Amino acid sequence: MEKRYLYLGLIIVAVIMYYNLFIGEQFEYTENVSIIAKEKYNQSTAKLVSFDKFSDIDKLHGRLVNFLGFLEYRLVDSTYIRFLVDDFDNQIEVKDVKETDLYLFEKGEITGPFNITGIFIKDYDRLVADLMEINVGERKEVLNERVLSKEKNITNTSEHNLGGFFVREFGCSDGTPLGECSETKPLYCSGSILVENGEECG
């Protein structure tokens, strides 16, 4: 008889616990989550001016060319010499500058950029330029994709009964099960915390 009452008592306790855990009164649960969000944007930058394509002296000799460069009037061994230069300090000496263009070369200064038209001439193992025309030029713009990382705080508020709370502790605040991707890409549920995981949830 005593065992029967004991079993009956255990059943009643189990029913009460089941009701409280899975059916009972709802309560509100609030969680603050900090995530790193990445935003892509395009940034326009000025393209660097380079004379690298003018490395084949024999091929360029006698050719009429048009290119972008800077003008420099540089002191070399106590003599000022006119040069065309790029952003990497590569130099092409200038010959036969028109009188009307001499003012563009300022002593000790680099000016430009300019659109330059002239004929390349091989002078031993280097190129010099016989200038024909100089006009104000402009750098080309290059569009680059950048990624900006920002830390964001998210507050998740949800209602659970006690049973749902215990079940929830094995998942994340938005209902995502542990070890699975959230509906909000690229968030991933790890240790009950939403973290960004582009590889798994991109």
For the cut 80, the answer to whether the pLDDT of residue 124 exceeds it is yes
pLDDT tens track for 44-63: 788 888 888 888 888 888 88
Label residue 166 by pLDDT band (50, 70, 90): very low
d(CA 90, CA 118): 17
The token pair at 195 is: 């973290």
Report the candidate in 156, 201, 151 with the shortest Cα–Cα distance to residue 181. 201
pLDDT-based confidence at residue 125 (cuts at 50, 70, 90): confident
The pLDDT assigned to 18 comes to 53
Query: 138 burial class (0-12, 13-18, 19+ CB within 10 angstroms)?
Result: exposed
Please say whether the structural domain 48-139 has been given the CATH code 2.40.50.140.
Answer: yes
CATH 2.40.50.140 residue ranges for the chain: 48-139
Q: How far is CA 133 from CA 4, 92, 117, 120, 128, in A?
A: 111, 15, 5, 13, 15
Tens-place pLDDT, residues 80-96: 989 999 888 888 888 88
Evaluate whether 193 touches 33 at the Cβ level (below 8 Å).
yes
User: How big is the CA angle at 120 (ends 119 and 125), to the nearest 5 degrees?
Assistant: 165
Structure tokens at 189: 């549920």
